[in-house]
Structure 1
Amino acid sequence: MDIHEVLKYLPHRYPFLLVDRVLSCEPGKTISALKNVTINEPFFSGHFPHHPVMPGVLIIEALAQAAALLTLKTANLQTDENSVYYFVGIDRARFKKPVLPGDQLILRATILRERIGIWKYSVKAEVDGRVVTEAELMCTIRSKE
């Protein structure tokens, strides 16, 4: 999926869209996506001015967005104005190495299970083949009403 197809599925836009491309997707199982981290990211001016590091919470958000794409492809849905994809839980989050400008984050999500509309994933973010962040995430799709 190129950025144009990603935009059809995710409601996020600048500066909060954190997936640039989907490298591979096996609906019902797994996804690999890419986030190019550039010095032009708005958060780098304050985190930290003399040593820019991508905030861990934004790495987790990028992983949740990749997981959302996997869920939407699996369920054959596109996000519309009547529904929202919510991040509802996180377990076992670990941050192993800082993510810096110039890094390419490879975002991996694997479905662990889906029960009563709650999806659970194992997620990892890698830079140059090394895991920088890992966690288990839970998300759901709900109507806005």
Structure 2
Amino acid sequence: MSENEVTSVDIMRIMEMIPHRYPFLLVDRVEDLVAGESATGIKNVTINEPFFPGHFPTKPVMPGVLIVEAMAQTAAVLVVHTEGSEIEGKLVYFMSIDGCRFRKPVGPGDTLHIKVKKERQRGNIWKFKGEAYSNDTLMAEAVITAMIVNE
């Protein structure tokens, strides 16, 4: 596969690439995956999400921190895709979250398109710009820096 080839991965492959599991696996599919550059995570938000019964039950809203976590998981898939199988399953820890803005609430029935773009990478530290869209509307954005560590 050439470095700039666009590809996608399904949920089974995502679970091989990153250690997250239900109920904290927040990405259903990753599309437009370009090694070393960018990716788009897809999260289908349903009323069955475990956080909705306790997070504004009369007006269910996806917690913003989980949207940022979905950005990080999408970025982690991009890192594994870029670096190769030797880092599959390693942990990725947040170092910083900057410029985080929640523009509109995300609720049941929304499909999030989580776009992450690598801003820079040095050793095991990666920085990404993340944006979450639903129906072409920007719902949230953040710049995240993370470190890949051995378990």
TM range (shorter): over 0.9
C-alpha separation in 1, matches of 2:25 and 2:43: 9
Paired letter, 2:98 = D
C-alpha RMSD over aligned residues: 1.0
Equivalence for 1:124 = 131
1:109 is aligned, of 107, 116, 129, to 116
What secondary structure is seen at the aligned counterpart in 2 of 1:43?
Answer: coil
Per the normalisation by structure 2, the TM-score is 0.91
Which runs of 5 or more residues in structure 2 are unaligned? 1-8
1:79 is aligned, of 69, 79, 88, to 88
Which runs of 5 or more residues in structure 1 are unaligned? none
Measured after TM superposition, the shift of residue 3 of structure 1 is 0.9
Within 5 Å, which residues of 2 pair with 1:31-46?
A: 31-46=39-54
Equivalence for 1:9 = 17
C-alpha separation in 1, matches of 2:105 and 2:150: 36
Measured after TM superposition, the shift of residue 100 of structure 1 is 0.7
Q: Does 1:97 align with 2:107?
A: no
In percent, how many aligned pairs have the same letter?
A: 47
Q: Deviations over 1:44-66 (max 9, x none)?
A: 00111100000000000000000
Measured after TM superposition, the shift of residue 114 of structure 1 is 0.6
C-alpha separation in 2, matches of 1:114 and 1:40: 37
Per the normalisation by structure 1, the TM-score is 0.94
Within 5 Å, which residues of 2 pair with 1:43-62?
A: 43-62=51-70
Measured after TM superposition, the shift of residue 84 of structure 1 is 1.5
Q: Deviations over 1:27-46 (max 9, x none)?
A: 00000110000000010001
Q: Does 1:138 align with 2:145?
A: yes
Q: Does 1:29 align with 2:29?
A: no
What secondary structure is seen at the aligned counterpart in 2 of 1:44?
Answer: coil
What secondary structure is seen at the aligned counterpart in 2 of 1:28?
Answer: coil
What secondary structure is seen at the aligned counterpart in 1 of 2:26?
Answer: coil
1:64 is aligned, of 69, 72, 80, to 72
C-alpha separation in 2, matches of 1:110 and 1:116: 17
